[in-house]
Structure 1
Amino acid sequence: MSDDIPTGGATQAEMRQFVVADDDDGIRLDRWFKRHMPDTSFNIVSRWARTGQLRVNGKRAAPGDRLEAGQMIRLPPPEVAAAATTAAKLPKPRAPRDPLSAEETELIRNLVIHQDRQAIVINKPPGLATQGGTKTDHHVDRLLDGIQFEADNRPKLVHRLDKDTSGVLLLARTSRAAAHFAKAFSSRTARKVYWAIVTGVPDIRDGLIELPIGKQPGSGGEKMHVDEKEGSPARTRYRVIERAGNSAAWVELQPYTGRTHQLRVHMAAIGHPIVGDGKYGGIAAFLSGTISRKMHLHARRLKVDHPDAGVVDVTADLPDHFAETMRILGFEQAKGDALPVDEVKFSETPEGKRRAIAHQAKDARKARRGERRGRSKP
């Protein structure tokens, strides 16, 4: 049987199709079902995979496969899916979530920095995962029962932050708000502003990094890298706000795409890894002295249209270790907040700057390869 022809009695025209959104980039296929089709059991997903009815970009897919933004997920039509559900053994009822302790409820409520009928915004601390996973049972998603307040349903995650990244995290309080915010993120009308401390000082003070990103082979999809042949397009605007001599700089980052670990990969690629990001910067990502070894990446501000009217425009305070580093290096927070967030997009600035940054990234990669060869010599 051809690998391009669906089984189960359905024609290709009848199959349901879904495009993977940017906010789902990098997640497992079974996690995608939990997010978007929670009534579809893992047993059914596995059955579709075994019978060839579950496809990603036209190829057979397995529940553990990781997704990339823009891929097409193809499922059997509703009537075939319903028949499969009836034929399969009924799954065990989902175990209810353990109730939150008083301490957990207090924790999540203390993180709330904005609340209205459609949205809640929290200031996520570093070290707290957005969602659960292997050996991770303390995360934002588990704590959401604590901020349901008077609503009928618990809030819904509409985007994510890495575990060690702090700052603004938006939650939708209704299905309508969830769809509205998801569209804003996927269409890039939501403006996200991050602050970071990086090692060294970029030669270009206001630049656009355009380097495609893909999964690094051998990492099991847990690490990304610049992949100019097969990577997905990725664009990051950065601006140097202040510098501490030649040792470090405080930069503003605005992602124009939403690839996994995009900001971390891009800054490391141009030779200026984010302080504390040993995963992508190695030993070069740490400063000497009393500077914290924690990640210095913070989602400072989010500006997005509100589902009803107006705009949700929220700023999150820095975590203690980031604020202390700012103090030690002599940086003034007011200078970062003074930068306009609605400037003309960087794509309208001279091409020369973009080319210079691409060459800078290549030079940085060559230097790192030279260092590795040097260390391997006896």
Structure 2
Amino acid sequence: MFSSVLAKQASYVVLPENVTDKPTVLSFLVEHFGQIGADVWEARVSDGKVHWQDGTLIELDTLYRPRVRVYYYREVASEPNVPFDEKIIYTDERIIVAFKPHFLALHPSGNVINECLVNRLRAKLGIETIVPAHRLDRATAGLILLCLYPEHRQQYHDLFKHGLICKEYQALAKLTPELLANNKSGQLALPLHWTVKNRIVKGEPSFTMKVIEGEANTHSEISLIEVRGEVGVFNLSPITGRTHQLRVHMQSLGMPILNDKCYPQLQAKAQDDYNKPLRLLARRLHFTDPISGKLIDLECEAICS
């Protein structure tokens, strides 16, 4: 399942103009990427894994040149192979809407290099410039909008920033005892709707979020649309777009999403259990293309039980 991995796509850094105390490219890389040992950079340079934009290799003594791109290949000792496939739902001359499976990261980070949606799509389509227009958690499956070329990203990102795109999610969660009792007695009328507004800030550890007192900075519309035994099927519309917003809002209703490893309680770090994905799906994207003016309305299949 694991092997030594070298990135298939090169990363790059632009050498800053204001750096005057680094005589060589190597000396800059060692200081700029302080979390990577000098011996690692020396080995990468010696192995021909660092080069200029035209492909010319950088040597151990290559002089520093400001305002020039240096290309390198990220490398990790191991990388998990996510055994689920992405799907291209829609594409045109500027964008892709793809289905990202559970457990697949959106872009490279940490020990993830090639096993992410962006690099899978770059390899599949032969387009190295693909960039995402918004975020989607690694744990969450569903539709993601990406741009073929970086120069278009801001226009599509602004759809999310200014609330000009309709995003709809679906989730499964165990119902509260009160809702279960009402359903059993025949007194639960569907759909049942909640408007959730509260203030969310970073928790501890910092990749989690928590609700505190204060002016609301988040807003979600949540509806219970179906009951399957003790589990409810929910439609969720995030009006704002904070990290983990829907997961925190479901927890605040007393119904955390099934298989959530962060809420209500952070679980110990462990290898992914592919049989227990987070039951949260980004199901629909509905927007007017800011460049072509075309109305785009896309859905993926509903979440399973």
Alignment partner, residue 55 of structure 1? none
Alignment partner, residue 314 of structure 1? 298
Larger deviation: 197-206 or 157-166? 197-206
Asked if the contact 2:14–2:70 (Cα under 8 Å) also holds between the matched residues in 1, the reply is: no
**Pick from 152, 163, 172: which aligns with 1:197?**
172
Question: Distance in 2 between the 1:225 and 1:304 partners?
Answer: 30
**Is structure 2 residue 283 aligned with structure 1 residue 296?**
no
Alignment partner, residue 117 of structure 1? 93
Larger deviation: 236-245 or 135-144? 135-144
**Is structure 2 residue 197 aligned with structure 1 residue 210?**
yes
Listed as ranges, the matches of 1:28-43 within 5 Å are 40=14
Per-residue Cα deviation, 1:232-290 (whole angstroms, up to 9, x for no partner): 60001011111135x2210000000010100001101110100111310349xxxxxxx
Asked if the contact 1:126–1:164 (Cα under 8 Å) also holds between the matched residues in 2, the reply is: yes
2:144 is paired with a residue of what secondary structure? strand
Question: Distance in 2 between the 1:44 and 1:299 partners?
Answer: 43
**Is structure 2 residue 154 aligned with structure 1 residue 179?**
yes
Per-residue Cα deviation, 1:135-167 (whole angstroms, up to 9, x for no partner): 222212222322445x6x622211121111001
Unaligned runs of 5+ in 2: 1-10, 22-33, 36-63, 76-80, 180-190, 267-274
Cα pair distance change 1:147/1:205, threshold 3 Å: same
Alignment partner, residue 235 of structure 2? 252
Alignment partner, residue 121 of structure 2? 144
Listed as ranges, the matches of 1:1-378 within 5 Å are 40=14, 93-96=70-73, 111-137=87-113, 138-148=115-125, 154-201=129-176, 205-216=192-203, 218-219=204-205, 221-229=206-214, 233-245=217-229, 247-282=230-265, 293-306=276-289, 307-318=291-302, 322-323=303-304, 325=305
The code of the aligned residue for 1:143 comes to R
1:272 is paired with a residue of what secondary structure? coil
Structure 1 position 190, deviation (Å): 0.5
Aligned pair count? 225
Asked if the contact 2:129–2:150 (Cα under 8 Å) also holds between the matched residues in 1, the reply is: no
Q: Which has the higher helix share?
A: 1
1:185 is paired with a residue of what secondary structure? helix
Q: Which has the higher strand share?
A: 2
Cα pair distance change 1:263/1:42, threshold 3 Å: farther
Cα pair distance change 1:191/1:92, threshold 3 Å: closer
Asked if the contact 1:304–1:313 (Cα under 8 Å) also holds between the matched residues in 2, the reply is: yes
Asked if the contact 1:195–1:298 (Cα under 8 Å) also holds between the matched residues in 2, the reply is: yes
1:130 is paired with a residue of what secondary structure? coil
Cα pair distance change 1:163/1:269, threshold 3 Å: same
Per-residue Cα deviation, 1:111-140 (whole angstroms, up to 9, x for no partner): 111111121111100010112222222212
Question: Distance in 2 between the 1:122 and 1:132 partners?
Answer: 17
C-alpha RMSD over aligned residues:
3.5
Cα pair distance change 1:311/1:97, threshold 3 Å: farther
1:145 is paired with a residue of what secondary structure? helix
Cα pair distance change 1:255/1:44, threshold 3 Å: farther
Asked if the contact 2:130–2:150 (Cα under 8 Å) also holds between the matched residues in 1, the reply is: no
Unaligned runs of 5+ in 1: 1-34, 48-62, 65-87, 99-103, 284-291, 326-378
What percentage of residue pairs aligned between the two structures are identical? 25
Asked if the contact 2:13–2:70 (Cα under 8 Å) also holds between the matched residues in 1, the reply is: no
Structure 1 position 43, deviation (Å): 10
Cα pair distance change 1:243/1:144, threshold 3 Å: same
Alignment partner, residue 46 of structure 2? none
Question: Distance in 2 between the 1:172 and 1:309 partners?
Answer: 16
2:263 is paired with a residue of what secondary structure? helix
Question: Distance in 2 between the 1:189 and 1:135 partners?
Answer: 34
Structure 1 position 317, deviation (Å): 2.5
Asked if the contact 1:123–1:317 (Cα under 8 Å) also holds between the matched residues in 2, the reply is: no
Q: Which runs of 4+ in 1 moved over 4 A?
A: 38-45, 88-92, 201-204
Asked if the contact 2:13–2:69 (Cα under 8 Å) also holds between the matched residues in 1, the reply is: no
1:274 is paired with a residue of what secondary structure? coil
The code of the aligned residue for 1:305 comes to T
Asked if the contact 1:167–1:317 (Cα under 8 Å) also holds between the matched residues in 2, the reply is: no
Asked if the contact 1:168–1:316 (Cα under 8 Å) also holds between the matched residues in 2, the reply is: yes
Asked if the contact 1:147–1:154 (Cα under 8 Å) also holds between the matched residues in 2, the reply is: no
Alignment partner, residue 22 of structure 1? none
2:262 is paired with a residue of what secondary structure? helix
